[in-house]
Every structure is written in C-alpha cells, then in structure tokens.
C-alpha cells in the first residue's frame, strides 16, 4: 500500500480502484504511513502551527430537516435560541482578547436572520475587528445573498456538501434538499471570491466506500480552501438515533488523504472528532489537520447547539477551552498561533 500512498503524495490523486484499496485497507501500517506523509507535507507548508477559529453558534433555529442533525426543524425537543447582535459582538470581544483572529458565525437556516440582519452583523464585526477574518456558515442562500455578505466584509464560507453521492444524499436528506443546489452554492461562493470550505461526515448512515470516493473526486474538482470532516455521531432525537457512529480510524485516514490531495488546504480536527475520542483532535492534527475550532458561544447556550450527542466543551467557558487547547497542541509538539490563519499559496 505504501506505493499508493507515495503516488497520492506525488500526484495528489488516485484512480477509483486505488482509492478503494486505500480506504478499505484497515491496517495500522497503512494508517501510520498515511499520517506520516500527510504530516510531512503539512509541515512543509504550515510548520507546527495550528490555527484557531472562534466558533459562535448564534442560532439553533433551522428550517431544514436533515435526518442526521440534532437541530433539525422536526426536533421538538430542541431548546431554541438566538443570540442578539450585542451578544455576538461580546463573543468576539472575549475571543479577540483570547487571541482569536478568525470568527466563525455558524447557525441553522433561520429566517429571522434576514440578509439585512446578517449584513448588519458582518459589518459590525468587521468594523470592530478589522484585523480579523470572518467566516459564515449559515447554509444555502442565493447568489445575491452570498454576494451581499461578501461585500459587507465576510471573507470565508463553510458549507459542507455532506455527500457527493446523489443517491446517498437522498437517503440522509428530505426531498426539498438537493446535491445539485448544494454544489451550485459552493461554486457560487467561490466565484464571488470567498475562501470556501466543503466537507462531509465520515460514517454517516448508508455511506459506502463508493460514496467516499465521490466525495474525494468532488473535493478535487472544487479545490476548496478548507475541508471540514468529522465522524457522524447519532443524536437521540433524530431518525438516525440508532445508527452507528463513524469510526475514528477512517476519519483520521481521510484527513491524511485530503492533506495529500490538497497540500495547502486548511483542515480542522473537528469537535465531533474530539467528541468520539478523548484525544481525537490531537490525533487529527497528527494525521495532517492544521486547524481547531474552539467554541466561543456563551456558556448558557452551548448545551442547546447540539448537532449530535456527547458533544465536548458544552460546559466550559471560552477561556478554559483556549487554555486546554493550547496545552493539548503543545503536548503533541504543535503551537496555537495568534493569526488570521489564511490559506497559504
């Protein structure tokens, strides 16, 4: 398998058969070699620096009903909340003082937050923190809306494609949502000028090796600046409550594969990864990730933004998380830096 890994490192892509062989090889040797090559490639570009993003989960209202997601519209047990503009700005202030230079505004698709309100919030954050990058993660919008947010000052946009396999997409989403529109949104964001992130869950119900290969091909085609992947974790109030969670090992292998495919990519070791294994984020960094996204949401709403069960850091203050994260990264020879953490060309 080493020859396939070395080919991936050199050519940044593989045939379907080679991807399949690599993905279905569950030996520790292969995983270790992948992580070793991915780490070497990452080190060349980003050194041992880890970029932090302050995640502000500003609304858990959502009009969509994705079968896997804990804040889906159909979950009557979700305790809904919205942060005010002032609360969001308070999160930024706390975050700035802790060394964050990127803020990520993430929320469900919440009609209360009209384009006008989002533009207003984006402008306020960029006016208060002109040296910071602002990332939006608020779902599918029209070209015009994306353009308005960009012109207001938003720099980056995260929109996981969730799965690039049409048939699989239909099994985990209600019929109102389509892969075609999802992809179009990502191309629109790129065209407008955003640094764009796509991504998917590892081990989501009905995912096959073939669906993952489709994901890898789509990622290659889109050539995003960021890729967010984490294990699927069931949420007790969703149709997928009894489904198995995604595997740590496969998530780590995919982080390494994505690093080798897109050497410069900004790749987070996600909260979901940290939630299924006590050292998940450390292992993710050692597999080739170079970003972590500690939570900046106010403590009293953290337990309400639950996309999946057993989410970590829901009882901690932002200040506690950043200290914890710095120590975690130090323990594996990495360093959290005060930086916007832009994509390096």
Binding site for ligand 5AD (CB under 6 A): 68-69, 160, 162, 201, 230, 232-233, 235, 272, 307-308
Kindly state the smallest distance separating residue 57's Cβ from ligand FES, in Å.
Answer: 14
Kindly state the smallest distance separating residue 94's Cβ from ligand FES, in Å.
Answer: 14
User: What's the N-to-C CA distance of the chain in angstroms?
Assistant: 30
* Separation of alpha carbons 250 and 26, rounded Å: 8
Q: Does 321 bind ligand FES (CB under 6 A)?
A: yes
- The dihedrals phi and psi of 324, each to the nearest 5 degrees, come to -60, -45
Binding-site partner at residue 272 among ligand FES, ligand 5AD, none, CB < 5 to 8 Å by type: ligand 5AD
Q: How many residues bind ligand FES (CB under 6 A)?
A: 7
Kindly state the smallest distance separating residue 303's Cβ from ligand 5AD, in Å.
Answer: 16
User: For residues 204-229, b (16+ Cβ closer than 10 Å) or e, as one string?
Assistant: bbebeeebbbbbbebbeebebbbbbb
Binding-site partner at residue 316 among ligand FES, ligand 5AD, none, CB < 5 to 8 Å by type: ligand FES
Q: Does 320 bind ligand FES (CB under 6 A)?
A: yes
Do 288 and 35 touch, CB atoms closer than 8 A?
yes
Q: Does 55 bind ligand FES (CB under 6 A)?
A: no
* Separation of alpha carbons 315 and 293, rounded Å: 16
Per-residue string for binding with ligand FES, 244-283, x by CB under 6 A?
----------------------------------------
User: For residues 104-143, b (16+ Cβ closer than 10 Å) or e, as one string?
Assistant: bbbbbbbeebebeebbebbbbbbeebeebbbbbbbbbbee
* Separation of alpha carbons 256 and 239, rounded Å: 31
Do 49 and 290 touch, CB atoms closer than 8 A?
yes
User: Given candidates 192, 324, 332, 337, which one binds ligand FES under the rule CB under 6 A?
Assistant: 324
In 3-state terms, what secondary structure has residue 343?
Answer: coil
Kindly state the smallest distance separating residue 325's Cβ from ligand FES, in Å.
Answer: 5
User: Given candidates 88, 91, 104, 313, which one binds ligand FES under the rule CB under 6 A?
Assistant: 313
Using CB under 6 A, which of the segments 2-10, 92-100, 138-146, 320-328 binds ligand FES?
A: 320-328
Kindly state the smallest distance separating residue 132's Cβ from ligand FES, in Å.
Answer: 20
The residues pairing with 199 across neighbouring beta strands, listed in sequence order, are 228
Please give the residue ranges that form the binding site for ligand FES (CB under 6 A).
294, 313, 316, 320-321, 324-325
């Amino acid at each position: 398998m080493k020859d396939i890994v070395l080919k991936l490192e050199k050519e940044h892509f593989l045939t379907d058969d080679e991807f399949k062989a690599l993905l279905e090889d569950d030996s520790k040797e292969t995983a270790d070699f992948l992580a070793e090559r991915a780490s070497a490639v990452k080190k060349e570009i980003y050194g041992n620096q880890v970029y932090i993003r302050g995640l502000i989960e500003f609304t858990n209202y959502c009009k969509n009903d994705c079968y896997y997601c804990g804040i889906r519209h159909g979950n009557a047990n979700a305790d809904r909340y919205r942060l005010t503009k002032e609360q969001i700005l308070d999160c930024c202030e706390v975050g700035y003082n802790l060394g964050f230079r990127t803020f990520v505004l993430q929320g469900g698709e919440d009609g209360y937050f009209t384009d006008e309100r989002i533009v207003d919030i984006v402008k306020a954050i960029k006016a208060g923190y002109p040296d910071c990058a602002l990332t939006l993660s608020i779902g599918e919008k029209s070209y015009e809306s994306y353009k308005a947010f960009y012109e207001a000052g938003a720099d980056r946009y995260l929109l996981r494609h969730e799965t690039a396999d049409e048939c699989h997409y239909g099994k985990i989403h209600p019929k109102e949502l389509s892969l075609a529109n999802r992809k179009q949104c990502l191309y629109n964001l790129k065209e407008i000028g955003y640094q764009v992130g796509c991504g998917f869950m590892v081990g989501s119900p009905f995912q096959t090796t073939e669906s993952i290969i489709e994901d890898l091909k789509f990622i290659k085609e889109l050539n995003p600046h960021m890729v967010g992947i984490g294990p699927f974790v069931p949420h007790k109030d969703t149709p997928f409550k009894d489904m198995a969670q995604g595997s740590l090992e496969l998530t780590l292998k995919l982080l390494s594969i994505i690093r080798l495919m897109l050497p410069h990519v900004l790749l987070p070791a996600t909260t979901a990864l940290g939630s299924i294994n006590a050292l998940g984020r450390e292992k993710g960094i050692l597999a080739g990730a170079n970003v972590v996204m500690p939570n900046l949401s106010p403590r009293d709403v953290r337990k309400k933004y639950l996309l999946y069960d057993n989410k970590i850091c829901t009882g901690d203050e932002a200040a506690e998380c950043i200290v914890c994260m710095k120590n975690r990264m130090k323990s594996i020879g990495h360093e959290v830096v005060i930086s916007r953490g832009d994509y390096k060309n």
